[in-house]
Amino acid sequence: MVVRREDELLQIEQDSQFSALRKKREQWFDPLPRQFLAENKTSTTILFGGLTMSHDFLLEGALLGLGYRAQHLDCPDTESFRYGKEFGNRGQCNPAYFTVGNLIKYLCRLRDVEGKSKEEIIGHYVFITSDSCGPCRFGAYITEYRKALRDAGFDDFRVLLFQQEQGLKQVAGKDNALLCNATFVISMLKAILLGDILNALTYRIRPYEIESGSTDRAVAHCNKHLYEALRKRKWIVPALRQCRKVLGSVQIDRTRVKPKVSIIGEFWAMTTEGDGNYRLSRFLEAEGAETETQPLAAWALYLIWAARYDTFERTRLRAADSGRKGLKGKRPAWRLIMLRMADHLVRIQFQIYAKVIGLYGYRLPNMDEIARVADPLYNNHLRGGEGHMEVGKLILTVLKRKANMTISVKPFGCMPSSGISDGVQSLVTDMYPEAIFLPVETTGDGAINVYSRIQMMLFKARQVAQNEYAQALAETGFTAEQLTELCGHANFNSPLKSPRDVVACTAANAIYGVHKPRRRETN
């Protein structure tokens, strides 16, 4: 007779309970989402967001013009961050928390405030976001979206992807409602370029406005004009001319000496205008600075450059098949021509719109130049985040005196951007000690600490701007008494006439832009 001890019996009982739990437990997996079919096009609303408010608003107009039902989400705020923290996995970075939380917040409002059922929301709404690969968690965002939506009570909600690198080659069947054809891409490109131009004008004009809020009102008016033109698929030039009149009526004073601050870094963190980057541009303007943000068109140009660079490098490899250099059946020369044409198309279209609306002297970045100056410090083959662009932008900002200060903003734990801004950029600042560079990490909270660090570095930038202004007065021969007469000059009172860049400070450039007065000859 076998007598079992009490501890052995307890262990057997625990093992049997654990086995039962394992059998009942269902491991979560990311299912294949339901498609957005053509038959549902008129009954399904496309939700999207994550760019600047001008971009999202104009993209909505473009989608409506293509026959879709579309609704852009509001700029993510701290409440969105709370939703993301509550339903998302731990250890995510800021963009994931803010963007998925923003979507859940909107769906909860549809359910709890507007009274829509879960089935109605899932059946009549779809969220579209971009996707990419790289040494970070961005490639896993889509899974995080679906997992958080399930935990929030919206399982089976459709989240669809737009692959950034694929361009026109998106995977889509003939029955899919979202067709990424040339018409679709051109409409999206128009909205992005127009958003870039409006943002550039906003950051040029708003720091020097005489009446507080006049720039924001003018830009809101312009957004409505351009939105209607995109929605009705009208010729965009008349709307741009109307916007030019509205923006040209804003009164400014460029004699105010302000340091110019360039914002670079992780794509989402430097693009968003909300709590995701502590409303960085607004804070800097409140502290008496002028900001310069990166256009979304620069990211499109970077993707084109990367494809062109990789294609060219492939032609230099050894042969791997019977074709020359292993390229049998391929047409690399034709691909390079097409990519070059795409680059020119983006730049030409941008300059046409910019000239009509009155954005003068603004040039999209030269990707070849950025790659060339960055390559000795950060290999052009490396991808992830903005790749070598962050390094190249800082170097060119210092060499060409584009800004008095540079801030690299990224989410806490962002691997690609942290490796650059906290590692490679320290070598850049050693090579160029005149650079005023500040890396900033965002965590969704801790704004006070970030603001304090910026204020300390901004003190140095103000001194540099003041020195540039004083040097401009000395070189041109103007005196302080003559500045009142300069206020009537076009370079000072016209918001659409930006002076040529000689130094970073706009007030100093405005003085250089005025004809030098004749000096009295002394014996």
Per-residue confidence of the chain (523 residues) as pLDDT tens digits?
444 556 665 565 566 655 655 555 566 565 655 677 778 888 899 999 989 999 999 999 999 999 999 999 999 999 999 999 899 887 777 888 898 999 999 999 999 999 999 999 998 999 988 765 555 655 567 777 888 898 999 988 888 876 544 444 444 555 777 777 888 889 999 999 999 999 999 999 999 999 999 999 999 999 999 999 999 999 999 999 999 999 999 999 888 999 999 999 888 888 889 898 999 999 999 999 999 999 999 999 999 999 999 888 878 776 655 656 667 667 788 889 999 999 999 999 999 999 999 998 899 999 999 999 999 999 898 887 788 899 999 999 999 999 999 999 988 767 777 777 777 888 899 999 999 999 998 887 778 899 999 999 999 999 999 999 999 988 888 876 777 666 666 556 788 888 888 999 999 998 888 755 444 333 3
Phi/psi for 408 (5° steps) reads -105, 115
- Proportion of the chain in helix, strand, coil states, percent, rounded to 5: 55, 10, 35
Phi/psi for 407 (5° steps) reads -115, 125
> What's the pLDDT at 410?
87
- Strand intervals (E) in 222-349: 260-265, 290-293
Q: How many CB atoms lie within 10 A of CB 443?
A: 16
d(CA 129, CA 69): 16
> What's the pLDDT at 109?
94
Q: Enumerate the β-bridge partners of residue 427.
A: none
Q: Which among 62, 361, 394 is positioned nearest to 200, based on CA atoms? A: 361
> What's the pLDDT at 52?
93
DSSP characters over 358-421: T--S-----HHHHHHHHTTTS-TT--STTTTHHHHHHHHHHHTT--SEEEEEEETT-HHHHHII
> What's the pLDDT at 323?
58
Q: Locate tokens 């060409």: which residue?
A: 400
Which segments of 287-331 does DSSP mark as H helices, in order?
Answer: 296-314
> What's the pLDDT at 331?
79
Which segments of 113-210 does DSSP mark as H helices, in order?
Answer: 118-124, 141-151, 182-205
CB 54 within 8 A of CB 225: no
Phi/psi for 162 (5° steps) reads -120, 115
Alpha carbon of residue 378 to chain centroid: 22
Q: How many CB atoms lie within 10 A of CB 79?
A: 12
> What's the pLDDT at 1?
45
**Adjacency order of strands within the sheet including 290-293:** 290-293, 260-265, 405-411, 437-442
d(CA 342, CA 340): 5
d(CA 277, CA 442): 6
d(CA 171, CA 162): 9
Residue 109 amino acid letter: R
- 330 class by beta-carbon count within 10 Å (0-12 exposed, 13-18 middle, 19+ buried): middle
- 148 class by beta-carbon count within 10 Å (0-12 exposed, 13-18 middle, 19+ buried): buried
Half-sphere exposure of residue 29, counting CA atoms within 13 Å on the CB side? 5
> What's the pLDDT at 513?
81
Q: Enumerate the β-bridge partners of residue 290.
A: 260
> What's the pLDDT at 318?
66
d(CA 500, CA 361): 7
| Structure-token pair, residue 14 | 């625990």
| Structure-token pair, residue 286 | 């409140």
Alpha carbon of residue 12 to chain centroid: 58
3-state secondary structure of 188: helix
> What's the pLDDT at 136?
60
d(CA 324, CA 363): 39
Residue 490 amino acid letter: A
